[in-house]
Amino acid sequence: MTRAAIPIAVTIAGSDSGGGAGIQADLKTFSALGCYGASVITALTAQNTLGVTAIHDVPPEMITAQIDAVFDDLAVRAVKIGMLSRPPAIAAVAEGLTRWRGAPVVLDPVMVAASGARLLEDAAVESLLRLLVPRADLITPNLPEAAALLEAPIAENEAEMEAQGRALLARGARAVLMKGGHSTGPDSVDLLVTADGVTRFPAPRAATRNTHGTGCTLSSAIAAGLAQGFSLEESVAKAKRYISGAIAAADQLDVGQGHGPVHHFFDLWG
């Protein structure tokens, strides 16, 4: 029997017991887009569509052990990083990426859950900027996250989004995807800001409250594209189409009583 090669992507993130965000959303996205997904769990959360009720951080040495186990055996072609709530966890991931350098890295600076629960300690922001932002090939902040990273007001238009993207480049990021989901208007516009310029990715804004896990899903979709050998711009464009479809189909699912998940398998379940 012939063995088929499959691109492998790994998610380094927290677990969402409700299944809509975090590790669970990342693995669903990898699967939907044709990648084999591995995982490094950085935190356990007790959460559902109504909110987060508890967080248990995984010890740094266990994060290290997971990273080494995955990279020592699997031919990882892309890395997605999500929830890292404390400086020791951030340091463990940074050290692991230094040992196993090579695969492109997409960093989603997860700070607050869709329910409003704080997921990143204040002390961890500096560690994130110092240790991981310069190691990432792309960071994907939403507007509140970009503002928090820069200690600045939330961007209110595309010119301010571009300016904050450039400010994050100056902090060491290689590329920044400024996500416009928190903005207003008929379109949700993301801006890919690099040293070479700005690329605009618009999509019609869907009228749904079921947007749990959108940031996790978009960043892992970009990682899936990179794992498959697409360029950064191609990967962002493909991921934008995927997340737009998953949000548009979210109301087809009846999951929970609060902010439900996007439909990761909208193109596969018919």
In tens, the pLDDT along 232-243 reads 999 999 999 999
218 in Cβ contact with 241 (< 8 Å)? no
% the chain with pLDDT above 90: 85
Give me the amino acid identity at 263: H
Residue 197 scores a pLDDT above 80: yes
Taking residues 93-100, what's their average pLDDT? 96
Instruction: Spell out the domain ranges in the chain.
Output: 8-141+214-252
Q: Classify domain 8-141+214-252 by CATH number.
A: 3.40.1190.20
Residue 113 scores a pLDDT above 90: no
Residue 123 scores a pLDDT above 90: no
According to DSSP, the β-strands at 76-81 and 8-16 are parallel
Q: How far is residue 165's CA from residue 112's CA, in Å, rounded to a whole number?
A: 19
Taking residues 133-152, what's their average pLDDT? 94
Residue 245 scores a pLDDT above 60: yes
Q: How far is residue 258's CA from residue 134's CA, in Å, rounded to a whole number?
A: 36
Residues 18-71: tens digit of each pLDDT: 999 999 999 999 999 999 999 999 999 999 999 999 999 999 999 999 999 999
pTM metric for this prediction: 0.95
Give me the amino acid identity at 20: G
Active site residues: 179, 211, 213-216
CA neighbours closer than 13 Å in the CB half-sphere of residue 231: 4
Residues 205-214: tens digit of each pLDDT: 888 999 999 9
